[in-house]
Structure 1
Amino acid sequence: MLIQMPIIFGIFALLRNPLAYLQSYEMLFAVHESFLWMVDLSQPDKWILPILAGIATFISFRMTSQQQSAAQPGGMGSMMKMMQYFFPVMIVLMGRSFPAGLTIYWFVGQFIQIFFNLHLNKVRKKIKEGGK
């Protein structure tokens, strides 16, 4: 999370004032192109992206909490379970007011985390089977 904070701040600043970073006439046309259903990534997407980011965050937390549930003491397990439901809701609410580009970053990051966890689980399973 510490490494991601400068990236999040940079994307947030870029999407707040994109014209300050344009250096050529061709870039101006690239900025005005639409992406999927969004015309302007500096404007918030009210529902689709925040909900996708919230779902991806929930799945990622769920996968991580299943892996760590055996190692956590009682109090930490209940806190992790609360965060599993609280963080996705927080992401949806914040995603509705932040620029759509930042919400895309959250969604893609969680999506990559999900596939990383799936791959890691396969590797762990192979190691357990090979160790017996």
Structure 2
Amino acid sequence: MTLQRVMHVEDDESIRAVAEIALIDVAGFTLLSCDSGQSALAQVETFKPQLILLDVMMPGMDGLQTLMRLRQLAPLDSTPVVFMTAKIQQVEKQQYLDAGAIAVIEKPFDPMLLGEMLENLYQEYVVAQ
């Protein structure tokens, strides 16, 4: 099974724009881009993402809070989540993994490689299940 539907949750408009180019134009994914955790929760069940790319630092509801709320929705309790953050220290990275993320990607990311990176993480997740 190949990765096709990705939800990206990011409050920074410029990062969302770069990710859209990387994930739609370069990687060929179907992408739902959300500007907040609240927006993601409102649209996620209709979109049915195969993978969620989630920013850590967001106003209102941060990435960890968003992940906890997503896990309460039955169809999303096992959807793989990859956190993306500019602030990456080993203790924090472990906290995100312990919360259920399958990986943590550091900002700034390489837009030309983002789709391939997500596809590889998704395949590793599928094989492990």
Specify the TM-score bucket, using the shorter chain as the normaliser. under 0.3
Structure with a larger share of its residues in helix = 1
TM-score calculated relative to the size of structure 2: 0.23
Structure with a larger share of its residues in strand = 2
Please identify the structure whose Cα radius of gyration is greater: 1
